[in-house]
Amino acid sequence: MVVAGAMAILEGIAALAKDDLFAVTRHYVFEFSLTGWGWVHLIVGIALVLSGCAVFTGALWARFLGVAIASLGVIANFLWLPYYPWWAIILIAINLFVVWALCAGMQREADASMTV
């Protein structure tokens, strides 16, 4: 989660800097300014890093928060696909892996507590 958050923060900073790296799409349904997308990714990235650090504590609420924030990261990057497709696909995959890992960890802990 911390790595996905750091990547999202870099994505947000690059969008805020109005880099020529991003493609300009026309007539896109979810069209925001590049600055708006930069803020979205920066906020989601900071939330991912903070919730990733909270997951290290082992608290159950941190796992639920991590699943919610990583899911928001998947949605934000799906909407970001026309601007920078490869980076968005990589972040979607990482965030989906984070959601899976957090949910699988919850299931293993529930199974272990039932056998005791």
25-40 pLDDT tens trace: 666 666 667 788 889 9
- Whole-structure pTM value: 0.81
* Tokens read off for 11: 């994505």
User: Is 53 within the bounds of a domain?
Assistant: yes
Q: Is residue 22 part of a domain?
A: no
Instruction: Give the rounded percent of residues in the chain with a pLDDT score beyond 90.
Output: 53
Taking each helix axis from N to C end, the angle separating 34-55 and 60-79, rounded to the nearest 10 degrees, works out to 160
Is 46 domain-assigned? yes
Number of domains the chain contains: 1
In a domain, 48, yes or no: yes
Query: Predicted confidence band at 58 (pLDDT cuts at 50, 70, 90)?
Result: confident
Q: Is 23 among the domain residues?
A: no
How far apart, in whole angstroms, are the C-alpha atoms of residue 25 and residue 2? 30
Compute the mean pLDDT over every residue in the chain, rounded to the nearest whole number.
85
| Assigned domain for 54 exists | yes
